């Protein structure tokens, strides 16, 4: 029988009633003729509670024991889901990561999946099991210890299982009914997309759209796993939700597919840096070593032999970035006059695979922002994305203006 992977996030399995609702959706797919692999997250709030218990017990905790504790939330959900399916007369069995086994490296709390053997689960399918309920977010390391994949790891688990088992599709059930052209809370004109390309979804996810975890989209793109994002709380049909798929499956699309934003950005400028070969490496090397996630970068000549280097970082990493730069200056690796941090900025991006073949996207974007009196501080572009930094107070206005300018309320 064809295999379907279904993933249910924490809000979808937050209590016994919601687990029963999710189980009914699984049963419907079994009745359509699928063998189903269900990936479950911990019940909503449970992982945070477990992490809190670890922190209260040991501030400098052993990462191996951390994984043993925080992975337990998914085990509970998997067992309850299997029990509910059994009550609905669906042959189901729960699986923990080590039972599959989902093999990972030894990077506890941030493990990477290395292999998912299919023999054990396929054998049970052959013996009459119709649903394997797998605890997401967890695996087993080379030393035989439980590992976890990091926050959002259940999405990654689901895509990895879909790739390993050659699933027809991977359905991600969440608390939204699909991927929208922008945040519907900002503009009522936001439209749910029927399909979106992997590359577009990857850009939107990395820019702050919280529908899918970035790592899971990367994995889906690499292995051509068709993803469908849909709501746990609405009646599902084969046409429900948004399909994330290969570009070739999308016959025609708008030039721009969506407008994304991130309000938690900061703009940092190193003023009057020596302009010499290797200066960029001397700046961004220490930032990388400090774990600072640098995004947009712009360099301006300030005076002869000197340059200003501007870059954006998440607000929560500003102090870490300052420390890294001061330490590099004290070590004599770089020399700058002073460091300016502007923490009242937001990043706005337009994303679309149609940009590859259409000119004028940047001009339209800049004209729309100019018409609303929005000043652009920094610009960065890629093949399918244009991002700008603006004052945070204009963020919602900018999103609405760009959504209107590119007529995203209209389907292609």
Q: What are the binding residues for substrate? A: 47, 74
Which tokens hold the place of 45? 């709030």
3-state secondary structure labels for all residues of the chain: CCEEEEEECHHHHCCHHHHHHHHHHHHHHHHCCCEEEEEECCCCCHHHHHHHHHHHHCCCCCHHHHHHHHCHHHHHHHHHHHHHHHHCCCCEEEECHHHCCCEECCCCCCCCEEECCCHHHHHHHHCCCCEEEEECCEEECCCCCEEECCCCHHHHHHHHHHHHHCCCEEEEEECCCCCECCCCCCCCCCCECCEEEHHHHHHHHHCCCCCCCHHHHHHHHHHCCCEEEEECCCCCCCCCCEEEECHHHCCCCCCCCEEEEEEEEEEEEEEEEECCCCHHHHHHHHHHHCCCCCCCEEEEEEECCEEEEEEEEEHHHHHHHHHHHHHHHHCCCCCCCEEEEEEEEEEEEEECHHHHHCCCHHHHHHHHHHHCCCCCCEEEEECCEEEEEEEHHHHHHHHHHHHHHCCCCCCC
Separation between Cα atoms, residue 282 and residue 286, nearest integer Å: 7
Provide the annotated binding site for ATP: 7-10, 174-175, 180, 185, 210-211
Which tokens hold the place of 5? 């992977």
Burial of 150 (0-12, 13-18, 19+ CB in 10 A): middle
Separation between Cα atoms, residue 374 and residue 391, nearest integer Å: 8
Which tokens hold the place of 249? 């499956």
């Amino acid at each position: 029988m064809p295999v379907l992977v279904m993933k249910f996030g924490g809000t979808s399995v937050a209590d016994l009633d919601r687990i029963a609702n999710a189980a009914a959706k699984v049963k419907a797919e079994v009745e359509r003729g699928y063998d189903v692999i269900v990936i479950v997250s911990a019940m909503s709030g449970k992982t945070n509670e477990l992490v809190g218990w670890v922190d209260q017990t040991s501030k400098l905790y052993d990462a191996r024991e951390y994984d043993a504790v925080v992975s337990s939330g998914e085990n509970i959900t998997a067992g309850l889901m299997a029990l509910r399916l059994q009550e609905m007369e669906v042959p189901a069995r729960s699986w923990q990561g080590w039972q599959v086994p989902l093999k990972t490296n030894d990077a506890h709390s941030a493990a990477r999946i290395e292999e998912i053997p299919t023999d054990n689960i396929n054998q049970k399918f052959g013996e009459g099991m119709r649903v394997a309920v797998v605890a997401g977010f967890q695996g087993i390391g080379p030393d035989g210890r439980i590992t976890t994949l990091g926050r959002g790891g259940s999405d990654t688990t689901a895509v990895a299982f879909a790739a390993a088992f050659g699933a027809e599709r991977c359905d991600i059930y969440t608390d939204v009914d699909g991927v929208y052209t922008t945040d519907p809370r900002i503009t009522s004109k936001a439209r749910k997309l029927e399909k979106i390309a992997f590359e577009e979804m990857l850009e939107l996810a990395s820019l702050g759209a919280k529908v899918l975890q970035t790592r899971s989209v990367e994995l889906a793109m690499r292995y051509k796993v068709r993803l469908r994002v849909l709501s746990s709380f609405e009646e599902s049909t084969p046409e429900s939700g948004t399909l994330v798929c290969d570009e070739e499956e999308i016959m025609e699309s708008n030039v721009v597919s969506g407008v994304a934003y991130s309000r938690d950005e900061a703009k940092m400028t190193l003023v009057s840096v020596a302009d010499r070969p290797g200066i960029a490496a001397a700046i961004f090397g220490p930032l990388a070593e400090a774990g600072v996630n640098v995004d947009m970068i712009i360099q301006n000549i300030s005076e002869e032999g000197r340059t200003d280097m501007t870059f954006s970082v998440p607000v929560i990493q500003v102090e870490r970035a300052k420390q890294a730069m001061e330490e590099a200056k004290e070590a004599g690796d770089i020399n700058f006059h002073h460091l300016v941090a502007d923490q009242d900025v937001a990043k706005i991006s337009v994303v679309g695979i149609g940009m590859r073949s259409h000119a004028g996207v940047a001009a339209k974007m800049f004209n729309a922002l100019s018409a609303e009196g929005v000043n652009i501080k920094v610009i960065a572009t890629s093949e399918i994305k244009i991002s700008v930094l603006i004052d945070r107070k204009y963020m919602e206005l900018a999103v609405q203006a760009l959504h209107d300018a590119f007529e995203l309320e209209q389907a292609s």
